[in-house]
Amino acid sequence: MNENIIPLNYLPLGKKAKVTALISEGTIRRRMLDLGLTNGTEIEALQRSPSGDPIAYHIRGAVIALRSEEASKIMVVAI
29-47 per-position pLDDT tens digit: 999 999 899 999 999 999 9
Identify the weakest region by mean pLDDT among 2-6, 24-28, 63-67, 71-75. Answer: 2-6
Looking at the domain 5-78, which fold is it?
A: SH3 type barrels. (2.30.30)
* Residue 54: cis peptide before it, omega within 30 degrees of 0: yes
User: Which residues are CB-neighbours of 67 under 8 A, at least 6 positions away?
Assistant: 53, 54
Domain boundaries, given as residue ranges, for the chain: 5-78
Query: Above 60 in pLDDT, residue 13?
Result: yes
- Residue 71 clears pLDDT 60, i.e. is over it: yes
How far is residue 9's CA from residue 55's CA, in Å, rounded to a whole number? 8
What pLDDT does residue 2 have? 60
Separation of alpha carbons 36 and 23, rounded Å: 15
Q: Decide if 8 contacts 43 (C-beta within 8 A).
A: yes
The pLDDT of residue 56 is 96
